Structure 1
Amino acid sequence: MTSDQILMATETAHPTLRAAVSGLPSYVPGRRSAGADIAALASNESHYEPLPAAAAAVAEAAGRMNRYPDMAAVELRERIAGHLAVTAGEIAVGPGSVGVLQQIITGLCDAGDEVIFAWRSFEAYPILVELAGARPVRVPLDDAEGHDLDAMAAAVTERTKVILLCTPNNPTGVPISHDRIAAFLRSVRSDILVVIDEAYVEYAEAGSGPDSLTLYREYPNVCILRTFSKAYGLAGLRVGYAVATPDIAEGLRRTAIPFAVTALAQKAAVASLDATGEMQARVAVVQKERSRLAARLEAQGWTLQPSQGNFLWIRADDDLTARLVAAFDQADILVRAYQGDGIRITVAEPASNDRVLHVMEAVLAAHAA
């Protein structure tokens, strides 16, 4: 090759993304509100203002934001450990539960390894798996919109490294019972990490889902994943955590981005744990509204599965989904649509929920006409 040809090749070459990155689907966040009259029900955020104790902790810590946070998050890990009756060595934190999940997949999966999860479930699952070079294995939900654990067990191969169980499931709201998960754990290899993703556990009625801490103590291959983003109302600060055996938890801390959990987030999370009673009182109001909204929708003629999250799921084909989204848009209500599957509606305050009922009644009447 002549010098001119080399120069031409150099001038036309350009950086390229990895094939795995170029082929990734984009994570679709819930649409944001742009006006006072818009009901933002597309993201499963708390519709309460931050807990006063958390807001005060952030204000107090803001004066030191020129300093790096504690990378080991010692105080926060110790407080979470005390809250759950485990040790700080069993806790790993990250920027939201999705950040911790990325640490889990990065820490356990090599290229070509497999991660099994139900589908439809949390939209970030396949993205994080593919980004790590692993292979996502989607197992369809059962007829009750929940995890088909028998089919998930049957999907296990020698390359399976991680299994994700989302309870209550996002976006369907269906939990997995304690006995079913216990039986599942007895049926899969003990070298597979089974992650119980409980982002919405605070909204679940007692006994509807697993006693994950008991399962963790009995099965060392269990990892519990939780967040402060939902019921605790810290979605804007990004802090979540995992409970895992000390060796796994240490690995998750090693794979974390340095200083990913800010000092403000750490202080707010600690203060939130001190205000757990106030959080639970807010959750009780959401649970009451969830029941009221579901009962009214069923009375209108909609078919719903009982949800244990702070949202409701409406199964719908593409045509009905498009009708629903258009009607909600016209009514200045933002909901989350899943192409080919249906819509998810976050439970908000009574006035917004009443607006949802009005739209749903009108769509059903028009659809039946």
Structure 2
Amino acid sequence: MSLTRPDLDALPAYVPGRSVPGAIKLASNEVPYGPLPGVVEAVTAAVAGVHRYPDMGVTELRARLADRLGVDSERVATGCGSVALFEHLFRVACLPGDEVVYAWRSFEAYPIIGATTAAKSVRVPNTGAHAHDLNAMADAITDRTRIVIVCNPNNPTGTAVRKAELDAFIDRVPANVIVALDEAYREFVTDPDVPDGLREYGDRPNVVVLRTLSKAWGLAGLRIGYLIGSPEVAAAVRKVVTPFSTSLAAQAAALAALDAEAEMRRRVDLVVAERTRVVEAVRKVYPDVPETQSNFFWLPLGDQSAEFAAAQERAGVIVRSFQGDGVRVTIGTPEENDAFLGAL
């Protein structure tokens, strides 16, 4: 007799980017330049109070985010990274048997979250250019659909949806279906035709934007993200968030990181410059690498993915293989990227 749900036996576990001692890690979409100025000091000061619970309402950080984004703080919810906020969003929107539509391949946590909330995942294949097929995603919406996810830029392919096609898509989504815009990599977008989801669609009650401080803001090890939605949706999410899950250290670090936005932008510019250089070099060997608007790029290697990743590992570089589909490579420092290119 099983003590756990039998349907979870077929569910793949989330696979993190591997860390190998002495190797260069280009597997987890981290920014390689260390914490932003002031973050270590803020965390150190916060540690003196860890015998106390943190502010459960995350009041100061939510106010700072709201002011920065030009929204009311009642529209903001925070959590243990944007992935945790997706878990909470599924929980407040879906009953068992309800459907969630998303592209595939996209962020590998979506099917895991769907299964653990008893929602049915409806995966819509990407286009031949490794991008969302928004027309097919709109066609996949049924009376049971509660959420449709647009990952923009898409993880792991790096491709991005532009404004005209996203406008048309959102216009087709029924008002009782949540459009969740996963913008974890928004800071790396340089294409002016790729819309800021909050600015363009934030006035629509059924649009929710999810972002993180783990990537461009350099707080991957502290896990903090935020959601902006209608007051009703944000309040429901805050209601189901695990109490005190936004830790004292994470709140302090986030506030300090937001004070260092200029330095964050400078580091993002370094990543974007390297992205251009590395992708141009890789295309001389693998011309099918799609355009990327993130801090990583996609090698559509199919069945050769594991072999490619193993060859890079032998050269001391760790990349992320998605078996049977492709390889995702994070942009690192120039020296790290040169090591990857040398192994190519």
TM-score interval, normalised by the smaller of the two chains: over 0.9
1:120-199 equivalences in 2 (<5 Å)? 120-199=105-184
Matched residue, 2:339: 355
User: 1:22, CA displacement in angstroms?
Assistant: 2.9
The superposition leaves residues 124-171 of structure 1 with CA deviations (integer Å, 9 ceiling, x where unpaired) of 000000100010000000111110000000001100000010010000
What is the aligned counterpart of 1:33 among 16, 20, 45? Answer: 20
Question: 2:298–2:326: 8 Å Cα contact kept in structure 1?
Answer: yes
State the secondary structure of the residue aligned to 1:305: coil
User: 1:72, CA displacement in angstroms?
Assistant: 0.6
Matched residue, 1:363: none
Distance 1:102 1:283 in 2: 28
1:315-334 equivalences in 2 (<5 Å)? 315-318=300-303, 320-334=304-318
Q: Which amino acid aligns with 2:144?
A: R
What is the aligned counterpart of 1:81 among 63, 66, 82? Answer: 66
Question: 1:175–1:208: 8 Å Cα contact kept in structure 2?
Answer: no
Matched residue, 1:341: 325
What is the aligned counterpart of 2:103 among 118, 127, 148? Answer: 118
Q: Does 1:268 align with 2:268?
A: no
Question: 1:24–1:131: 8 Å Cα contact kept in structure 2?
Answer: no
Sequence identity (%): 43
Matched residue, 2:4: 17
Please give the TM-score of this superposition, normalised by the length of structure 1: 0.91
User: 1:19, CA displacement in angstroms?
Assistant: 2.3
Question: 1:325–1:337: 8 Å Cα contact kept in structure 2?
Answer: yes
State the secondary structure of the residue aligned to 2:264: helix
State the secondary structure of the residue aligned to 2:155: coil
Q: Which amino acid aligns with 1:348?
A: G
Give the aligned length. 344
Matched residue, 2:242: 257
Distance 2:285 2:2 in 1: 56
Stretches (4+) displaced over 4 A: none
User: 1:214, CA displacement in angstroms?
Assistant: 2.7
Q: 1:55 to 1:305 in 2, by over 3 A?
A: same
1:195-344 equivalences in 2 (<5 Å)? 195-318=180-303, 320-344=304-328
State the secondary structure of the residue aligned to 2:284: helix
Distance 1:208 1:229 in 2: 24
- Comparing 127-136 with 48-57, greater Cα deviation is found at 48-57
Q: Which amino acid aligns with 2:5?
A: R
Task: Work out which of the two has the higher radius of gyration on C-alpha atoms and give 1 or 2.
Answer: 1
Distance 1:354 1:146 in 2: 27
Please give the TM-score of this superposition, normalised by the length of structure 2: 0.98
- Comparing 302-311 with 257-266, greater Cα deviation is found at 302-311
Distance 2:184 2:90 in 1: 17
User: 1:301, CA displacement in angstroms?
Assistant: 4.4
Q: Does 1:55 align with 2:40?
A: yes
Structure 1 runs not aligned, ≥5 long: 1-13, 361-369
